[in-house]
Amino acid sequence: MPKKSIFPKDVKEKLKEKFRVLKRKIVLDVFTKKGTNDQFNQFSIQICKELAKLTDKIEVELHEISERYKITRSPTILIDPKNYQIRYTGAPAGEEGRSFIQAIIMASTDNSLLSESSKERISTLKKRHHIQVFVNPACPYCPQQAIYAISAAIDRKDISAEIVETFENQDLAQKYNITSVPQTIIDGKEVAIGLQSEDKFVAGLLGLSLEEVRVKEAKEAIETDVVIIGAGPAGLTAAIYAVRSGLKSVVLEKAGIGGQVTITPIVENYPGFTRIAGKVLMEMIAQHAMKYTFIHQGEEAIEIRPNHPFEIVTTRGRYLAKAVILATGATHRRLNVPGEQRLYGRGVSYCTTCDGYFYKGKRVIMVGGGNSAVTEALHLDSIGARVTLVHRRDSLRAEKRLQESLFSRKVPILWNSQIKEILGEEVVSAVKIESIKEGAVKEYPIEGVFISIGYEPSNLLAKKMGLELDKNGYIKVDRHQRTSIPGIYAAGDITGRVKQIVTAVGEGATAALAVFEGLSSPYWIT
């Protein structure tokens, strides 16, 4: 019986279109060892063969593990090994399929995805480097970090890039105490936990500060009607509506496209979808937005000068815009207890989608009582973690349906309790939890702490501009999403309103339409 194809028919057609840019024929060398990760070996062989059927620019060669390329792990895939040092140690499954396909394109076209300024910086390196990026198939942030490493290996042939799948290589992950992904190791030393901006990645590779690698302010500016800062639900929707209104737009995103939604395991309250993974929903919205506008991923806005037009200074250059929409979102709120920062990435995490699978069969706690905390506690329970929910109050704030799911699964809950300290030397080993009513503090042996206690606004740009903020630091807006400075709009979580995907989308659309109306008939001129 023939194997089921990895790629649906529509995806194959999209890949064929994508592979039209391939220039040079490349070889994918697949190394496997029978009896070691057999399921992943078969997947690696199948995905490479299926990709080769879509274009004559890909050739697949199968090998048993060999010392020739110092291959000791199964499966291992080398991409164009005669020209580059790029390897996948482990199957490129799930999210990592995206970076794998992009790596093939970069190798065949001999062109990386780094900006020209980053390429210029990397050209100054004086010695060889080996970059390892540890990933897992469920992590939506991992592919972009992998692409940075692979891009560096494309630009400098004396740089080797290795993308390591942690589940298939647990001994290697344990060697570096990997309990959070993506995690980047350069020449055997940890340089980053989590997805970096392109500038931070290059700075880490060069051993420089972030300020030293940032581009000097560009002399020539790009002119556009509206600059949208942030590529979450609000920013992407604003881009769609702006362009459909006839406005030229640019979207700037310093990190990953999709915002917080990409790490939401399951979304059940977005109209039209009774149940959909957050990352899948955001991929659909992002693909829609890309049909209308450019999304400059890895480009951070560092200053907005309130001239006419507005001048937006970024890590890559300058833009002149008639209006600006701030959709910068919010970041995870910290507990601010001893041990939290020190053990981040060593058992402390804010993302169950990224890191939950490390804790299958292990004792973990989920801190929080809202929708996000309960959703993530359910996710941890579903993947086999021994999760306990810790909440400050005697009742949950989460939606009734989520609470019912939590109670039906009999997930233990410590009511009226708060974390006082997270303990551990190299990794989390215990937590101190205080009973709010009794004041007693008890130590619990634990291996992981997941935190979801709300968000803090990403308001640095707003503060620099002097926008009016509320007492919690969120940008004040009117019903048209207009801020205290004419021509500056805000949408999504940064406004501090109801934190739902559907409201962020609505605010993004409202802001874009308000920009169109404002430019047609300026509301600030009476």
Extract the runs of DSSP E, i.e. beta strands, from 91-188: 129-135, 159-165, 183-186
User: What percent of the chain is helix, strand and coil (3-state, nearest 5)?
Assistant: 35, 25, 40
- CA distances 362 to 120, 388, 405, 446, 452, Å, are 46, 11, 21, 8, 19
Catalytic residue among 225, 351, 381, 493: 351
Q: Which residues pair with 320 in a beta bridge?
A: 223, 311
Does 470 qualify as catalytic in the annotation?
Answer: no
Catalytic residue among 354, 381, 394, 493: 354
Q: Which residue's structure tokens are 């939604």?
A: 261
List CB contacts of 292: < 8 A, sequence separation 6 or more.
239, 240, 243, 244, 249
Phi-psi category of residue 126: left, alpha or beta, with phi > 0 → left and psi -120 to 50 → alpha: alpha
- How do strand 129-135 and strand 183-186 relate by DSSP bridges? antiparallel
Catalytic residue among 155, 225, 355, 381: 355
Rounded to whole angstroms, the Cα distance separating 442 from 433 reads 5
The structure tokens listed for 493 are 């979580």
Report which of 166, 161, 181, 55 is spatially closest to residue 114, judged by C-alpha positions.
Answer: 161
Contact status, residue 103 vs residue 79, Cβ threshold 8 Å? yes
Contact status, residue 102 vs residue 147, Cβ threshold 8 Å? yes
Does 351 qualify as catalytic in the annotation?
Answer: yes
What DSSP character marks residue 85?
-
Does 142 qualify as catalytic in the annotation?
Answer: no
Rounded to whole angstroms, the Cα distance separating 70 from 480 reads 61
Residues designated catalytic: 351, 354-355
